């Protein structure tokens, strides 16, 4: 066993060297989300509840858009393996256009949601807080989608440290802006939740400008700039980017949609329950982001080795990614187990909210291994551009079963008023019976989905074990 694991050391190193900067950059965004949640929660519980609803809805569409932007990764990896840097510059240019058109569609859907907020059954006292924060967050999606193209570019050419520093800089500015605008420091008005939205909006503009500056000023990017300048925007490239991006976008959108629907359902229970849900989702997102960073590293490597037609290395990289994901699962679950009693108090001093959060953490721990496996395997397929059918079917399973189990447990035990007279030992607590219903759906579906994502096809085609492609 030890010898087999030792044989993967070089692959672990390869993924860690590429994945750690990606993870750090993504964790910067999560830390900003944590800071948002803590600052808003300390300002008022009602604003924390409003932020929970808006963030879950808006982030579902950002995740969907980010999935679309992944269309660039396999194209860059395959052209990089053939040293076609000018072609990569052209793909970046066309990616910006494709992302722009997709963004307009996402904004149109969100605008429809915004105009119908009154119909979603959220607590009346939260609507004045929800509306302005929703509007600012909606507009900022445009800048997220544009800087995603540059982010996929720098990570795809194996320069993830650039993405890391840009994201960390933008997120640090966001935290500073939050402090000033939420609490009204240094002569600025006290805007509360709206201040957090404005700060996020400004930071996203700054991150886009930083990516543009790096692309225009780095001397080693000259071949890419040449391709960006000389290769025209064309329908064929636009269609190819859409054909790659939309399956991934819809796959991620199905999963993100469950969080969006869940936020609406939890809002039916009340403000405190919605606040607890926001805290639990924020904690869960940290581990999800780490798995996503590992998955991105796997996708970059598999796309490169596919371009070099080295399927043996594709298989080794994927298995090494699964090993690293399992290590992260152990660390995450141990940390949550040791800190579960008081973790909610970091975000708010409301003891009832903390009690609800405590009931959710064991469920978060249970679905970590399924989450890790399905993200890494799906990203391996994404790098091979083979995720269109296998992963779409698995995500449809995830979405349908999560919703069924959520409604089956969440609604009858957590929302129906006619059940209030039943003995407390039967219902436990209304809220702990409600929100865990949503998470219980994820446990079963993610574990089965991770097995459905395994494709026994091409990755088993093992060529001679002589010389393999060197790593970029």
> Quick one: pLDDT at residue 53?
82
CA atoms 349, 333, 254, 417: torsion sign: negative
Q: Encode pLDDT of 189-241 as tens digits.
A: 999 989 999 999 999 999 999 999 999 999 999 999 999 999 999 989 999 99
Q: Encode pLDDT of 62-108 as tens digits.
A: 888 888 888 888 888 888 888 889 999 999 999 999 999 999 999 99
Q: Encode pLDDT of 320-359 as tens digits.
A: 989 899 999 999 899 888 888 888 777 777 788 888 888 8
Rounded distance between C-alpha atoms, residue 92 and residue 125, angstroms: 45
Rounded distance between C-alpha atoms, residue 178 and residue 190, angstroms: 10
Rounded distance between C-alpha atoms, residue 345 and residue 333, angstroms: 19
For the CA atoms of 200, 206, 210, 212, what is the dihedral angle to 10 degrees? 110
Cβ neighbours of residue 333 under 8 Å, at least 6 residues apart? Answer: 365, 368
Rounded distance between C-alpha atoms, residue 82 and residue 109, angstroms: 40
- Mean pLDDT calculated for residue range 283-306: 83
What DSSP state is assigned to residue 459?
A: G
Q: Name the maximum alpha-carbon separation found in the chain.
A: 73
Cβ neighbours of residue 44 under 8 Å, at least 6 residues apart? Answer: 192
Residue 414: pLDDT band by 50, 70, 90 thresholds? very low
Asked if residue 55 has pLDDT above 90, the reply is no
The length of the chain, given as a count of residues? 472
The pTM for the full model equals 0.69
> Quick one: pLDDT at residue 52?
77
- Mean pLDDT calculated for residue range 125-139: 91
Q: Which residue has the tokens 């500056």?
A: 213
């Amino acid at each position: 066993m030890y010898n087999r694991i030792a044989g993967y050391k070089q692959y672990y190193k390869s993924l860690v060297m590429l994945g750690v900067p990606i993870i750090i950059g993504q964790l910067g965004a999560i830390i900003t989300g944590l800071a948002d949640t803590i600052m808003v929660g300390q300002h008022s519980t009602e604003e924390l509840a409003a932020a929970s609803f808006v963030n879950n809805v808006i982030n579902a569409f950002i995740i969907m858009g980010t999935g679309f932007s992944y269309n660039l990764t396999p194209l860059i990896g395959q052209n990089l393996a053939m040293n076609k840097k000018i072609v990569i510059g052209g793909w970046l240019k066309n990616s910006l256009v494709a992302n722009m058109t997709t963004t307009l569609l996402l904004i149109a859907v969100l605008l429809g949601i915004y105009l119908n907020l009154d119909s979603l059954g959220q607590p009346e006292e939260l609507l004045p807080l929800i509306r302005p924060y929703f509007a600012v967050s909606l507009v900022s999606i445009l800048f997220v989608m544009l800087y995603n193209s540059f982010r996929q570019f720098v990570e795809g050419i194996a320069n993830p440290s650039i993405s890391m520093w840009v994201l960390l800089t933008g997120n640090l500015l966001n935290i500073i802006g939050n402090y000033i605008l939420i609490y009204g420091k240094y002569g600025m008005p006290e805007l509360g939740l709206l201040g957090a939205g404005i700060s996020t909006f400004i930071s996203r503009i700054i991150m886009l400008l930083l990516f543009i500056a790096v692309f225009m000023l780095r001397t080693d990017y000259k071949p890419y700039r040449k391709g960006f300048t000389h290769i025209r925007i064309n329908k064929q490239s636009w269609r190819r980017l859409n054909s790659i991006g939309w399956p991934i976008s819809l796959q991620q959108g199905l999963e993100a949609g469950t969080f969006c629907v869940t936020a609406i359902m939890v809002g039916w229970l009340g403000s405190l329950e919605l606040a607890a849900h926001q805290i639990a989702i924020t904690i869960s997102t940290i581990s999800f982001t780490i798995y996503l960073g590992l998955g991105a590293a796997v996708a970059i490597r598999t796309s490169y080795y596919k371009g070099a037609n080295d399927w043996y290395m594709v298989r080794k990289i994927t298995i090494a990614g699964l090993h690293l994901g399992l290590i992260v699962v152990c660390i995450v679950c141990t940390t949550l187990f040791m800190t579960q009693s008081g973790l909610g108090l970091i975000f708010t001093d409301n003891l009832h909210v903390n009690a609800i959060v405590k009931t959710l953490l064991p469920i978060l721990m249970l679905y970590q291994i399924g989450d890790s496996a399905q993200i890494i395997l799906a990203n391996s397929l994404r790098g091979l551009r083979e995720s269109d059918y296998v992963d779409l079917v698995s995500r449809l399973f995830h979405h349908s079963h999560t919703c069924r189990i959520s409604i089956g447990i969440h609604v009858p035990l957590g929302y129906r008023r006619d059940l209030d007279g039943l003995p407390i030992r039967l219902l436990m607590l209304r809220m702990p019976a409600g929100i865990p219903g949503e998470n219980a759906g994820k446990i079963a579906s993610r574990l089965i989905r991770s097995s459905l994502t395994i494709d026994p096809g091409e990755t088993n085609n093992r060529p001679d074990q002589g010389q393999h492609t060197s790593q970029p």
